[in-house]
Structure 1
Amino acid sequence: MTRTTSARHTDILNGYKEGGSRFNDWAREKLGEFTLLDWSWGHIKMRWEIDDRFVMPDGVMFGGHIASVADHVAGLAAMTVLTADKERFRTSRLETNYFRPLTMPLAMIEGRVVNAAKTLIHVEADFKNAQEKLAVRVNAVQVRRMTG
Protein backbone atom coordinates (compact mmCIF):
# COMPACT_ATOMS: atom_id res chain seq x y z
CA MET A 1 0.00 0.00 0.00
CA THR A 2 1.35 3.39 -0.98
CA ARG A 3 1.51 6.10 1.68
CA THR A 4 2.01 9.10 -0.55
CA THR A 5 -0.52 11.89 -0.81
CA SER A 6 -1.47 12.51 -4.45
CA ALA A 7 0.19 15.40 -6.30
CA ARG A 8 -3.13 17.26 -6.57
CA HIS A 9 -3.92 17.02 -2.86
CA THR A 10 -0.31 17.79 -1.90
CA ASP A 11 -0.57 21.00 -3.94
CA ILE A 12 -3.87 21.93 -2.27
CA LEU A 13 -2.52 21.31 1.24
CA ASN A 14 0.77 23.09 0.56
CA GLY A 15 -1.10 26.03 -0.94
CA TYR A 16 -3.31 26.18 2.13
CA LYS A 17 -0.22 26.07 4.36
CA GLU A 18 1.43 28.90 2.40
CA GLY A 19 -1.73 30.99 2.86
CA GLY A 20 -2.51 32.20 -0.64
CA SER A 21 -4.92 29.62 -2.03
CA ARG A 22 -8.59 29.96 -2.88
CA PHE A 23 -9.26 27.58 0.04
CA ASN A 24 -7.70 30.11 2.45
CA ASP A 25 -9.90 32.85 1.00
CA TRP A 26 -13.02 30.69 1.30
CA ALA A 27 -12.23 29.62 4.89
CA ARG A 28 -11.41 33.19 5.96
CA GLU A 29 -14.74 34.48 4.64
CA LYS A 30 -16.98 31.62 5.77
CA LEU A 31 -15.30 30.19 8.88
CA GLY A 32 -12.59 32.49 10.19
CA GLU A 33 -8.84 32.91 10.07
CA PHE A 34 -7.04 29.56 9.82
CA THR A 35 -3.39 28.71 9.53
CA LEU A 36 -2.37 25.21 8.50
CA LEU A 37 0.78 24.92 10.58
CA ASP A 38 1.84 21.46 9.45
CA TRP A 39 0.58 18.39 7.68
CA SER A 40 1.79 14.91 6.93
CA TRP A 41 0.22 11.60 5.99
CA GLY A 42 -2.88 11.27 8.17
CA HIS A 43 -2.20 14.33 10.32
CA ILE A 44 -2.79 18.10 10.37
CA LYS A 45 -2.07 20.90 12.84
CA MET A 46 -3.97 24.18 12.61
CA ARG A 47 -4.38 27.48 14.42
CA TRP A 48 -7.78 29.18 14.40
CA GLU A 49 -7.87 32.88 15.22
CA ILE A 50 -11.40 33.31 16.54
CA ASP A 51 -12.99 36.64 15.68
CA ASP A 52 -16.13 38.26 17.00
CA ARG A 53 -18.21 37.39 13.92
CA PHE A 54 -18.72 33.90 15.39
CA VAL A 55 -18.99 34.66 19.10
CA MET A 56 -22.33 34.94 20.90
CA PRO A 57 -23.01 37.91 23.21
CA ASP A 58 -21.67 35.95 26.22
CA GLY A 59 -18.30 35.51 24.48
CA VAL A 60 -18.70 31.81 23.65
CA MET A 61 -18.47 30.30 20.18
CA PHE A 62 -21.77 29.11 18.70
CA GLY A 63 -21.73 25.28 18.61
CA GLY A 64 -23.14 25.10 15.09
CA HIS A 65 -20.27 27.20 13.80
CA ILE A 66 -17.77 24.95 15.55
CA ALA A 67 -19.43 21.97 13.83
CA SER A 68 -18.99 23.68 10.44
CA VAL A 69 -15.33 24.24 11.22
CA ALA A 70 -15.06 20.62 12.38
CA ASP A 71 -16.29 19.45 8.98
CA HIS A 72 -13.64 21.60 7.27
CA VAL A 73 -10.89 20.26 9.55
CA ALA A 74 -11.99 16.64 9.02
CA GLY A 75 -11.88 17.20 5.27
CA LEU A 76 -8.35 18.56 5.36
CA ALA A 77 -7.18 15.63 7.46
CA ALA A 78 -8.87 13.15 5.10
CA MET A 79 -7.24 14.86 2.13
CA THR A 80 -3.79 13.88 3.44
CA VAL A 81 -4.47 10.19 2.73
CA LEU A 82 -5.85 10.51 -0.80
CA THR A 83 -3.44 8.75 -3.15
CA ALA A 84 -4.96 9.47 -6.56
CA ASP A 85 -5.51 12.88 -8.12
CA LYS A 86 -9.08 11.91 -9.09
CA GLU A 87 -10.04 10.93 -5.55
CA ARG A 88 -12.56 13.06 -3.70
CA PHE A 89 -14.58 12.57 -0.52
CA ARG A 90 -17.83 13.56 1.13
CA THR A 91 -18.75 13.67 4.79
CA SER A 92 -20.92 10.74 5.79
CA ARG A 93 -20.93 11.28 9.56
CA LEU A 94 -19.85 14.14 11.80
CA GLU A 95 -20.02 13.95 15.59
CA THR A 96 -18.97 16.98 17.60
CA ASN A 97 -18.49 16.60 21.36
CA TYR A 98 -18.19 19.74 23.46
CA PHE A 99 -16.24 19.61 26.75
CA ARG A 100 -15.79 23.31 27.52
CA PRO A 101 -16.53 26.58 25.73
CA LEU A 102 -14.36 27.89 22.93
CA THR A 103 -13.76 31.61 23.20
CA MET A 104 -11.58 34.25 21.63
CA PRO A 105 -8.74 34.60 20.87
CA LEU A 106 -7.83 31.19 19.43
CA ALA A 107 -8.08 27.42 19.21
CA MET A 108 -5.31 24.99 18.35
CA ILE A 109 -6.49 22.02 16.31
CA GLU A 110 -4.94 18.62 15.63
CA GLY A 111 -6.63 16.25 13.22
CA ARG A 112 -5.66 12.65 12.56
CA VAL A 113 -6.85 9.87 10.33
CA VAL A 114 -7.52 6.88 12.56
CA ASN A 115 -8.36 4.54 9.69
CA ALA A 116 -8.15 4.89 5.91
CA ALA A 117 -9.85 2.03 4.11
CA LYS A 118 -10.84 1.56 0.48
CA THR A 119 -14.15 3.42 0.80
CA LEU A 120 -14.14 5.12 4.22
CA ILE A 121 -11.77 7.49 6.00
CA HIS A 122 -12.24 7.90 9.76
CA VAL A 123 -10.95 11.15 11.24
CA GLU A 124 -10.62 12.42 14.79
CA ALA A 125 -9.76 16.03 15.68
CA ASP A 126 -9.18 17.88 18.94
CA PHE A 127 -9.78 21.60 19.44
CA LYS A 128 -7.88 23.04 22.40
CA ASN A 129 -8.64 26.44 23.88
CA ALA A 130 -6.12 29.19 24.59
CA GLN A 131 -5.35 27.51 27.94
CA GLU A 132 -4.46 24.32 26.02
CA LYS A 133 -7.42 22.42 27.46
CA LEU A 134 -9.52 20.09 25.33
CA ALA A 135 -12.67 21.98 24.35
CA VAL A 136 -14.05 19.92 21.44
CA ARG A 137 -13.42 16.47 19.97
CA VAL A 138 -14.68 15.60 16.53
CA ASN A 139 -15.23 12.17 15.00
CA ALA A 140 -15.98 12.08 11.30
CA VAL A 141 -16.35 9.57 8.51
CA GLN A 142 -15.52 10.59 4.94
CA VAL A 143 -16.64 8.47 1.98
CA ARG A 144 -14.07 8.17 -0.79
CA ARG A 145 -15.17 8.53 -4.40
CA MET A 146 -13.49 8.89 -7.78
CA THR A 147 -14.19 11.58 -10.34
CA GLY A 148 -13.99 11.49 -14.12
Structure 2
Amino acid sequence: MANTTSERHTDILNGYKDGGSRFNDWSREKLGDFTLTDWSWGALNLLWDIDDRFVMPDGVMFGGHIASVADHVAGLTAMTVLSDNKERFRTSRLETNFFRPLMMPLAKIAGRVTNASKTLIHVEADFLNAEDKLAVRINAVQVRRMTG
Protein backbone atom coordinates (compact mmCIF):
# COMPACT_ATOMS: atom_id res chain seq x y z
CA MET A 1 0.00 0.00 0.00
CA ALA A 2 1.18 3.48 -0.82
CA ASN A 3 1.94 5.90 1.98
CA THR A 4 -0.19 8.58 0.39
CA THR A 5 -3.56 9.71 1.69
CA SER A 6 -6.21 9.65 -1.04
CA GLU A 7 -7.35 12.90 -2.61
CA ARG A 8 -10.83 12.51 -1.08
CA HIS A 9 -9.55 11.94 2.44
CA THR A 10 -6.90 14.66 2.08
CA ASP A 11 -9.69 17.10 1.16
CA ILE A 12 -11.79 16.01 4.17
CA LEU A 13 -8.86 16.35 6.60
CA ASN A 14 -7.71 19.68 5.15
CA GLY A 15 -11.29 20.97 5.28
CA TYR A 16 -11.51 19.93 8.92
CA LYS A 17 -8.18 21.64 9.59
CA ASP A 18 -9.40 24.84 7.90
CA GLY A 19 -12.45 24.77 10.17
CA GLY A 20 -15.27 25.26 7.69
CA SER A 21 -16.33 21.74 6.75
CA ARG A 22 -19.57 19.95 7.52
CA PHE A 23 -17.52 17.67 9.80
CA ASN A 24 -16.51 20.68 11.90
CA ASP A 25 -20.15 21.74 12.17
CA TRP A 26 -21.23 18.22 13.15
CA SER A 27 -18.47 17.72 15.73
CA ARG A 28 -18.95 21.19 17.24
CA GLU A 29 -22.65 20.49 17.77
CA LYS A 30 -22.41 16.86 18.92
CA LEU A 31 -19.00 16.51 20.59
CA GLY A 32 -17.34 19.88 21.17
CA ASP A 33 -15.06 22.37 19.49
CA PHE A 34 -11.97 20.77 17.94
CA THR A 35 -9.08 22.30 16.04
CA LEU A 36 -7.07 19.96 13.85
CA THR A 37 -3.67 21.63 14.18
CA ASP A 38 -1.74 19.29 11.87
CA TRP A 39 -1.88 15.89 10.25
CA SER A 40 0.28 13.62 8.16
CA TRP A 41 0.25 9.98 7.03
CA GLY A 42 -0.66 8.00 10.16
CA ALA A 43 -0.80 10.87 12.66
CA LEU A 44 -2.68 13.97 13.71
CA ASN A 45 -2.92 16.50 16.50
CA LEU A 46 -6.05 18.17 17.80
CA LEU A 47 -6.95 20.77 20.40
CA TRP A 48 -10.27 20.29 22.19
CA ASP A 49 -11.82 23.41 23.72
CA ILE A 50 -13.94 21.72 26.36
CA ASP A 51 -17.22 23.45 27.07
CA ASP A 52 -19.59 22.94 29.98
CA ARG A 53 -22.16 20.90 28.02
CA PHE A 54 -20.29 17.69 28.82
CA VAL A 55 -18.90 18.46 32.28
CA MET A 56 -20.44 16.96 35.40
CA PRO A 57 -21.30 19.21 38.39
CA ASP A 58 -17.88 18.53 39.98
CA GLY A 59 -16.15 19.92 36.87
CA VAL A 60 -14.94 16.58 35.49
CA MET A 61 -15.66 15.53 31.90
CA PHE A 62 -18.20 12.70 31.64
CA GLY A 63 -16.32 9.51 30.70
CA GLY A 64 -18.95 8.35 28.22
CA HIS A 65 -18.57 11.58 26.32
CA ILE A 66 -14.80 11.15 26.22
CA ALA A 67 -15.40 7.68 24.71
CA SER A 68 -17.57 9.26 22.00
CA VAL A 69 -14.84 11.78 21.26
CA ALA A 70 -12.33 8.90 21.23
CA ASP A 71 -14.29 7.24 18.43
CA HIS A 72 -14.24 10.49 16.47
CA VAL A 73 -10.48 10.88 16.99
CA ALA A 74 -9.86 7.25 16.00
CA GLY A 75 -11.82 7.80 12.79
CA LEU A 76 -9.96 10.97 11.84
CA THR A 77 -6.64 9.28 12.56
CA ALA A 78 -7.56 6.19 10.52
CA MET A 79 -8.58 8.43 7.64
CA THR A 80 -4.98 9.63 7.28
CA VAL A 81 -3.91 6.20 5.96
CA LEU A 82 -6.73 5.60 3.47
CA SER A 83 -5.07 5.58 0.06
CA ASP A 84 -8.07 4.97 -2.19
CA ASN A 85 -10.94 7.45 -2.64
CA LYS A 86 -13.43 4.57 -2.33
CA GLU A 87 -12.09 3.37 1.04
CA ARG A 88 -14.19 3.75 4.17
CA PHE A 89 -13.94 2.24 7.66
CA ARG A 90 -15.99 1.24 10.68
CA THR A 91 -14.96 0.95 14.30
CA SER A 92 -14.80 -2.66 15.45
CA ARG A 93 -13.12 -2.08 18.82
CA LEU A 94 -12.66 0.93 21.07
CA GLU A 95 -10.92 0.85 24.42
CA THR A 96 -10.73 3.95 26.60
CA ASN A 97 -8.34 4.04 29.56
CA PHE A 98 -8.71 6.84 32.10
CA PHE A 99 -5.70 7.97 34.14
CA ARG A 100 -6.68 11.44 35.35
CA PRO A 101 -9.81 13.55 35.18
CA LEU A 102 -10.23 15.58 32.03
CA MET A 103 -11.53 19.06 32.80
CA MET A 104 -12.10 22.41 31.17
CA PRO A 105 -10.72 24.36 29.45
CA LEU A 106 -8.56 22.38 27.03
CA ALA A 107 -7.27 18.95 26.04
CA LYS A 108 -4.48 18.20 23.59
CA ILE A 109 -5.00 15.05 21.56
CA ALA A 110 -2.32 13.18 19.59
CA GLY A 111 -3.52 10.29 17.42
CA ARG A 112 -1.34 7.78 15.61
CA VAL A 113 -1.82 4.71 13.48
CA THR A 114 0.14 1.89 15.07
CA ASN A 115 -0.54 -0.58 12.25
CA ALA A 116 -2.38 -0.45 8.94
CA SER A 117 -2.98 -3.69 7.08
CA LYS A 118 -5.17 -4.53 4.12
CA THR A 119 -8.26 -4.98 6.31
CA LEU A 120 -7.55 -3.37 9.71
CA ILE A 121 -6.27 -0.03 10.97
CA HIS A 122 -5.05 0.10 14.60
CA VAL A 123 -5.11 3.54 16.21
CA GLU A 124 -3.84 4.87 19.51
CA ALA A 125 -4.43 8.38 20.86
CA ASP A 126 -3.42 10.27 23.98
CA PHE A 127 -5.56 12.97 25.58
CA LEU A 128 -3.45 15.37 27.65
CA ASN A 129 -5.05 17.64 30.23
CA ALA A 130 -4.40 21.37 30.61
CA GLU A 131 -1.26 20.54 32.63
CA ASP A 132 0.07 18.39 29.74
CA LYS A 133 -0.38 15.21 31.78
CA LEU A 134 -1.79 12.02 30.28
CA ALA A 135 -5.48 11.88 31.17
CA VAL A 136 -6.80 9.30 28.67
CA ARG A 137 -5.30 6.82 26.21
CA ILE A 138 -7.47 5.12 23.64
CA ASN A 139 -6.89 2.11 21.42
CA ALA A 140 -9.15 1.41 18.49
CA VAL A 141 -9.43 -0.94 15.56
CA GLN A 142 -11.04 0.26 12.35
CA VAL A 143 -12.13 -2.22 9.67
CA ARG A 144 -11.43 -1.07 6.12
CA ARG A 145 -14.13 -1.46 3.47
CA MET A 146 -14.60 -0.32 -0.10
CA THR A 147 -17.63 1.49 -1.51
CA GLY A 148 -19.05 1.36 -4.99
Q: TM-score range by the shorter chain?
A: over 0.9
**One-letter amino acid of the structure 2 residue matched with residue 42 of structure 1:** G
Partners in 1 of 2:35 and 2:61 — Cα distance? 19
Aligned residue type for 2:76: L
Q: Distance in 2 between matches of 1:42 and 1:76?
A: 10
State the distance in 1 between where 2:111 and 2:146 align. Answer: 23
In structure 2, the partner of 1:114 is 114
* 1:123-134 superposed matches below 5 A: 123-134=123-134
The one-letter code sitting in structure 1 at the alignment partner of 2:103 is T
SS at match of 1:83: coil
CA deviation profile, 1:60-97 (whole Å, cap 9, x unmatched):
00000000000000000000000000000000000000
Q: Which amino acid aligns with 2:14?
A: N
Other structure's SS at 1:15 match: helix
- CA distance in 1 between counterparts of 2:70 and 2:106 reads 15
Q: Which runs of 4+ in 1 moved over 2 A?
A: none
The TM-score normalised by the length of structure 2 is: 1.00
Q: Which residue of 1 aligns with 2:62?
A: 62
CA distance in 2, matches of 1:84, 1:33: 29
Report the alpha carbon displacement of residue 104 of structure 1 after superposing the two structures with TM. 0.2
**Structure 2 runs not aligned, ≥5 long:** none
2:103 pairs with 1:136 = no
SS of equivalent to 1:107: strand
Alignment of 1:17 with 2:17, yes or no, is yes
Identity of aligned residues (%): 82
Partner of 1:85: 85
Following superposition, the deviation at residue 31 of structure 1 comes to 0.2
Q: How many Å separate the matches in 1 of 2:125 and 2:81?
A: 15
Partner Cα distance (1:77, 1:51) in 2 = 23
Q: Corresponding residue for 1:94?
A: 94
Specify the alignment match of 1:51 in structure 2. 51
TM superposition shift of 1:2: 1.0
What does residue 146 of structure 2 align with?
146
- Cα distance in 1 between the residues matched to 2:78 and 2:111: 9
Question: What's the Cα RMSD here?
Answer: 0.3
Q: Which runs of 5+ in 1 are unaligned?
A: none
